[in-house]
Structure 1
């Protein structure tokens, strides 16, 4: 069952990436990121108040947001700091790079998760899983050569380093999620609500320094409906992902790989929507990535 929940998470993540590309075009990254997280927080806020006043009803619907100790709040705040850093880097890179370059680099995330799962959680891959992960990495390298044809020199482009950093932080957060869900026994909605709360606070501090004091930046900001859509889709994706992690048999390295099937939406449909270059050439490494994911699932 956890694999199907992972595929649902991948579906919402693919749609999330398309909306995110539209939301950041010509916009300041920080207010867009704040708008998306705040939208997700507002979506979860009724569950919080419902948990205060209608506890039994929310428990029956499995949507109750539980009371947690201060130590657990600290653990969630750490996750918020990790993901805020990852998103800031990723949004900046997405603003300056084609989605068909950004998304495949992000697909290297399962490799970092793969290593962490072996070292931290002692998850043991088999032969096909080894092949699948290395096939994903080789396909990403092939994308770097295609990127040069679009004027993107991977060694000299700072946004490439930004998306690589975002990928590493995102993978670290994925490993941390297993600890939060399985070791601290947090429910998906409890983790999501407090995660959004602390992330909103972090972004408010950043905006107070980099955006609110500057009238020119505020006037240049354009609100788009996709800002709200990104927040809603992210909440949906994370909910199914955390539900999958609740299964004691769920393997974080396989879940991370399953989520890469979002590439079908982000690269194929995104390439058509945003009319980016070399779409046909990018299909070959995309096929390699998807085949790597298939090998992992098949194994």
Structure 2
């Protein structure tokens, strides 16, 4: 069951990436990120207030929010700090790179998760899983060759380094999620609500330094409907992902790889929507990544 929940998370993440590219194109990055996280928080706050006013009805429909201690709040704040850094770096990179380059690099996240899962959680891959992960990495090298034809030289482009660091931080957060869900026994909605709450707080501090004092940046910001859509779609994806993690049999290394099937939507649909170049050539490494994900699932 947890694998199907992972596929649902991938579906919403794919749609989320399309809306995110629309939101950041020619726009100020930080207020867009703040708007998406705030939209997700408001979306969750509606359910939180509903649970406070009608606790029995909310509990009967699986929307009960847990009472947690200060130590648990501290653990959630750490996750918020990790993801705030990851998102800031990813949004900046997405503004300067094609979605058909950014999304495949983000798809290498399962490799970092794969290493961490072996070291921290003692998850042991078999031969097919090894093949699947290395096939994903090889496909990333092919993407770097295609990126050069669009004027994107991977080794000399700072935005490539930016998205790689963002991917590493995102993978670290994924490993941390298993600890929060399984070791601390947090349910998805409780973790999502407080995670968004602290992330909004962190981003407010960043914006107070980089955005609010600068009039030219405030004027350059354009509000778009996709900003709200990004926040809601991300919370939907996270809900199914955390529900999958609640299963004690769920393997974080496999779940992380399943989520990357979102690349199909980003590369195929996004490539046509945003009229990016070399779409056909990008289908070759795309197939490599999808085959790698398939090998992991099959194993």
Which TM-score bucket, shorter chain as reference?
over 0.9
User: How far has the Cα of 1:55 moved from its partner?
Assistant: 1.4
User: How far has the Cα of 1:59 moved from its partner?
Assistant: 1.0
| 1:276 corresponds to | 276
Alignment deviations for residues 97-148 of structure 1 (CA, whole Å, 9 cap, x no partner): 0000000000100000000000000001111000000000000011001100
| 2:94 corresponds to | 94
User: How far has the Cα of 1:53 moved from its partner?
Assistant: 2.4
Segment of structure 1 superposing worse, 214-223 or 156-165: 214-223
| 2:188 corresponds to | 188
User: How far has the Cα of 1:151 moved from its partner?
Assistant: 0.3
Aligned pair 1:158/2:158, yes or no?
A: yes
Q: Quick one: distance in 2 between partners of 1:2 and 1:248? A: 10
Aligned pair 1:145/2:154, yes or no?
A: no
Segment of structure 1 superposing worse, 100-109 or 43-52: 43-52
TM-score, normalization by structure 2: 0.99
User: How far has the Cα of 1:64 moved from its partner?
Assistant: 1.2
Q: Quick one: distance in 2 between partners of 1:120 and 1:214? A: 44
| 2:54 corresponds to | 54
Segment of structure 1 superposing worse, 211-220 or 48-57: 48-57
User: How far has the Cα of 1:52 moved from its partner?
Assistant: 2.1
| 1:216 corresponds to | 216
Task: Write the mapping of 1:161-172 to structure 2, written as runs, cut at 5 A.
Answer: 161-172=161-172
Q: Quick one: distance in 2 between partners of 1:185 and 1:207? A: 33
Q: Quick one: distance in 2 between partners of 1:233 and 1:100? A: 20
Q: Quick one: distance in 2 between partners of 1:18 and 1:53? A: 36
Task: Write the mapping of 1:187-266 to structure 2, written as runs, cut at 5 A.
Answer: 187-266=187-266
SS at match of 2:186: coil
SS at match of 1:171: helix
TM-score, normalization by structure 1: 0.99
Alignment deviations for residues 200-232 of structure 1 (CA, whole Å, 9 cap, x no partner): 000000111111111111111100000000000
Q: How many residues align?
A: 299
Contact 1:51 1:66 in 2 (8 A): no
User: How far has the Cα of 1:285 moved from its partner?
Assistant: 0.4
Q: Quick one: distance in 2 between partners of 1:281 and 1:7? A: 26
| 1:72 corresponds to | 72
The runs of at least 4 aligned residues of structure 1 exceeding 4 Å deviation read none
Contact 1:47 1:65 in 2 (8 A): no
User: How far has the Cα of 1:50 moved from its partner?
Assistant: 2.2
User: How far has the Cα of 1:51 moved from its partner?
Assistant: 2.4
Gaps (5+ residues) in structure 2?
none
User: How far has the Cα of 1:268 moved from its partner?
Assistant: 0.5
| 1:129 corresponds to | 129
